[in-house]
Amino acid sequence: MPPPSSQSAGQETSHGPEFGGRLSRFWQRVTEGLELSQLWNQFRSDARASYRLYSRDLAARAPQASWRHDFFRTLSEFCWAILEKLSPARRVLLLAAVLLLFFGGGEYSHHDPSGTVTQVTLPFQFYGGALLLVLLVLEIGDRVVMKRDLEIARDIQHWLLPATPPQVPGLAIAFATRAANTVAGDYYDVFARAAPTAGDTRFILAVADVAGKSIPAALLMATFQASLRTLAITPSPLADLAAGMNRYACTNSQSGLRFTTAFLGEFNPADSSLIYINAGHNPPILRRHTGAVERLTIGGLPLGILAEGRYESDSVKLQAGDWLVIFTDGLVEAMNARDEEYGEARLLDVLNAGASAQPDELLRRIMASADAFVGTTPQHDDITCMLVKAG
């Protein structure tokens, strides 16, 4: 046999790298450049989130059932928890696919008049896989539409929240938020409002947390932002502002189920005083320049629970070097893989260690500390933190 020509050898050599390049580009497109370890962590995070979703339904259906003592009942309820996430038509499609997969293949004999026997094989498993593929395509279509709507909602939410803090005389401010889902129910804002005295300007500092998460909480967060901005236009005491917001919140809180915890502060640059109201929110930390720690607790019930609820205000003086840390419960209740909470003690440790830093730098340290603590564990609450340093 004659040796291959140099031309054919060159073609074979060139086809190898070309195929390898295509395969590499295909893999990069599928994985979006993630390493195998990153893909595995992402899968673990998704699997944990899915398990918790279905396990909540299972606990509601069969609170006393356990895998050890009632295996078949628990398995049945778990399957129903999955099925009920689908539309009725897709449930039928899924059941048909599962039956075909377990049925396997079938062979049938056909006898024609001439006596010839024809064996007919029906690939039920193939049809079952095809039905599963159709179901997957339908579910992906829904997910794409929902993801697009969520991305639009996220963009609108980012537009409602301030990107950078305004210049406030006597204060340096930094804030950050991180949604557990695409959109969040946390709210933060800093803006100027007119004071009762003509020509005087004061500044509202607000952090709020709507009960729940995702789309319902995000919609209520938008109404909270609108009501706060609208009511703050009229010069009035902070207690009246909180009472007005509470009455408005009660009109769309589903009889108190969708309440909102909030911290509202009004800073007066003229005397460095901060009047505040804590409406059921995590007590902010006021760290004095001496290292002493105070909690801002005076206020009332969360907004949206009792229409005639009354709110008391208190006042503190901010001195140079004082820190005010306002946060939502998603920060201190962030969980790691061992179901341990991040806690206020760790937050205080980072605050004390970075008391001489600027707010934006200290904020990065706090978020990095929380990230290192939770690792790859998925979080189920939004995280928001506002840092205020008096200077």
pLDDT at residue number 302: 95
Residue range 324-342: mean pLDDT, rounded: 94
pLDDT at residue number 103: 73
Is residue 184 included in any domain, yes or no? yes
Residue span of the structural domain in which 185 resides: 161-390
CATH number for the domain including 187?
A: 3.60.40.10
Is residue 14 included in any domain, yes or no? no
Place of tokens 């497109």: 29
Is residue 374 included in any domain, yes or no? yes
The packing angle between helices 88-103 and 71-83, to 10°, is: 130
Provide, rounded to the nearest whole percent, the portion of the chain with pLDDT above 90. 43
Is residue 120 included in any domain, yes or no? no
User: Each residue of 271-293: pLDDT tens digit?
Assistant: 999 999 999 999 999 999 999 99
Is residue 362 included in any domain, yes or no? yes
Residue range 137-142: mean pLDDT, rounded: 86
Is residue 90 included in any domain, yes or no? no
Burial class of residue 191, CB neighbours in 10 A (0-12, 13-18, 19+): middle
User: 101: part of which helix (H) or strand (E)?
Assistant: helix 88-103
* Angle at CA of residue 321, ends 316 and 323, nearest 5°: 60
Burial class of residue 336, CB neighbours in 10 A (0-12, 13-18, 19+): middle
Q: Is the pLDDT of residue 114 over 90?
A: no
Q: Is the pLDDT of residue 270 over 70?
A: yes
Mean per-residue pLDDT over the chain, rounded: 85
Is residue 166 included in any domain, yes or no? yes
pLDDT at residue number 213: 75
Residue range 60-77: mean pLDDT, rounded: 65
Provide the number of structural domains found in the chain.
1
38-47, 199-208, 212-221, 374-383: segment of lowest average pLDDT: 38-47
Which residue would you say has higher pLDDT here, 351 or 46?
A: 351
Is residue 152 included in any domain, yes or no? no
pLDDT band at 50 (very low <50, low <70, confident <90, very high): confident
Helix and strand numbers (H, E) in the chain are 10, 13
Residue 87 neighbours by CB under 8 Å, 6+ apart: none
Residue range 90-106: mean pLDDT, rounded: 81
Q: Is the pLDDT of residue 10 over 60?
A: no
